[in-house]
A and B are shown apart, each in its own frame.
Chain A
């Protein structure tokens, strides 16, 4: 190993030790290249996810059944855009251009989860998205909030956590209303759960035994592993669905003291039919990455809907 490589390894090791002793970084100048790379990946995923949730929710908000629900649906969209803005701003302070990230990438290059490439076609799908996807957001971000070693991000997440909790409540209250209604409403709700439950499970990514080494835990950019976060999500989602009389493909295993899935995981998804192909058995994570890479049916539409007028308005002003 060259002397330079040794020195940089030593610097990374030293920073990790400091962080595990409780050290909080306050500026990009304090970051080592390894830390910087890991936090840029984390924040890009966070920002892109918040940004792409906005058009997904926005198109679905047309199905709001009253002016009141229009207001709450749009309030959620407004929050998501603000969260995206805040995450991109943190990136900009690290020298990453928000302009390039938002306007300079191809739609398939965004880093949001596959779930936000799917159409939300009715009011039930929107509120289950709030109940499931926003809960996944809370699981992930509240863990970052508790554990991150980057001070500016920790402070930014106070607002984000507070607002995501409101989105989740919106989802839960409406899921309860639809579940109580019975008949067509409950059937529709069950269909949403059928495709969105496995979608969120997959969102948490590779299981721990397959996970490639990630800097995010070493640099304490988060505290829990993918499998632990999946368990946290299920520990509130499964009881909620059971209490509403909805069936979910997972149950609590008393012996193992954890939630277990009742379907082959991971498995293939048919985006047109909005259906998981449980009957075809499990697939490899490479197959999953292939599907994610190909992006889902709404990817280009969502990306274009948040930036379609940029060029025109810009040309009027300059």
Chain B
């Protein structure tokens, strides 16, 4: 399963496995440096769930004193106009 976000619910065996063990899904990391700045895609991390994704993102992308940072499970990003790239695999 490439879909990020072990935290999202699912009832299949694969989903259960994805939420346990060392399986990790992909999260995209967005941040802005200052008030008034645009939120920018700054990278990605692998994490087994939303809570650890927050920790890993904050600890990994510590090169700036970010005003705001958030993570989005890759699987939640719905591409609008492109049919290639990692996000397009969600369609």
Which residues of A pack against B, CB within 8 Å? 26-30, 78, 82, 85-86, 89, 92-93, 98, 155-156, 159, 162-163, 310, 313-314, 317-318
What residues of A have a CB within 8 angstroms of the CB of B61 in the complex? 82, 159
Q: Is B22 in contact with A159, judged by CB distance below 8 angstroms?
A: no
B85 and A27 contacting across the interface, CB-CB below 8 Å: yes
Query: Mostly helix, strand, loop or mixed at chain B's interface?
Result: mixed
Do A82 and B60 have beta carbons less than 8 Å apart?
yes
> Could you tell me the distance between the alpha carbons of A82 and B44 in the complex, rounded to whole angstroms?
11
Partner of A318, one of B20, B82, B88: B20
- 10 CB contacts below 8 A, A to B, read A27-B82, A27-B84, A29-B85, A82-B59, A82-B61, A85-B45, A89-B46, A159-B61, A162-B63, A317-B22
- Residue in contact with B86 in the complex, picked from A27, A85, A155, A318, CB distance below 8 Å: A27
Q: Is the CB of B86 within 8 A of A159?
A: no
Cross-chain contact B84 with A159 (CB below 8 angstroms): no
Report the minimum CB–CB distance from A286 to chain B (whole Å): 39
Would B63 and A159 count as touching, CB distance under 8 A? yes
Bound Cα distance from A98 to B25, whole angstroms = 12
Residue interface mask B21-64, A partner, CB < 8 A = 1: 11000100000000000000111111000000000000111010
What's the minimum C-beta distance from B19 to chain A, rounded to whole angstroms?
Answer: 10
Min CB distance A153 to B, Å, is 11
In the bound complex, how far is the Cα of B45 from the Cα of A27, in angstroms? Answer: 18
Provide the residues of chain B in CB contact with A93, threshold 8 Å.
86
The residues of B that contact A156 with a CB separation of less than 8 Å are 43
**Within the complex, which residue of B22, B26, B42, B59 is in contact with A89, where a contact is CB–CB below 8 Å?**
B26
- Closest residue of chain A to B2, judged by CB? A92
Pair B22/A310 contact, Cβ less than 8 Å: yes
The prevalent SS among residues of A at the interface is helix
Beyond known contacts A85-B60, A86-B44: 11 more, CB 8 A cutoff: A27-B84, A27-B86, A29-B84, A29-B85, A82-B59, A85-B45, A86-B43, A92-B26, A159-B63, A163-B63, A318-B17
Q: Are A314 and B21 in contact (CB under 8 A)?
A: yes
The answer, among A78, A85, A313, A314, for a CB contact under 8 Å with B46, is A85
For B59, what are the chain A residues with a Cβ–Cβ distance below 8 Å? Answer: 78, 82
Q: In the complex, what's the smallest C-beta–C-beta distance from A260 to chain B, in angstroms? A: 37
Across the interface, name the chain A residue whose C-beta is closest to B17: A318
The answer, among A26, A98, A317, for a CB contact under 8 Å with B85, is A26
Q: With a CB–CB cut-off of 8 A, which chain A residues contact B41?
A: 155
Question: How close is B40's CB to chain A, nearest CB, in angstroms?
Answer: 9
Quick one: which of A29, A155, A162 has the most chain B CB within 10 A?
Answer: A29
B42: chain A residues at CB < 8 Å are: 155, 159
CB-CB under 8 A for A314 and B22, given A26-B85, A27-B85, A159-B42: yes
Nearest-CB residue, chain B, relative to A163: B63
Q: Report how far A27 CA is from B84 CA in the complex, Å.
A: 7
Q: Within 8 Å CB of B22, what residues of A?
A: 310, 313-314, 317
Which residues does chain B contribute within 8 Å of A29, judged by CB atoms?
84-85
Contacts of A310 in B (CB 8 A): 22
- 8 tightest Cβ-Cβ pairs between the two chains A and B: A27-B85, A29-B84, A318-B21, A27-B84, A82-B60, A317-B21, A159-B63, A93-B86
In the assembled complex, the Cα of A27 lies from the Cα of B57 at a distance in Å of 22
Min distance, Cβ A103 to any Cβ of chain B, angstroms:
10
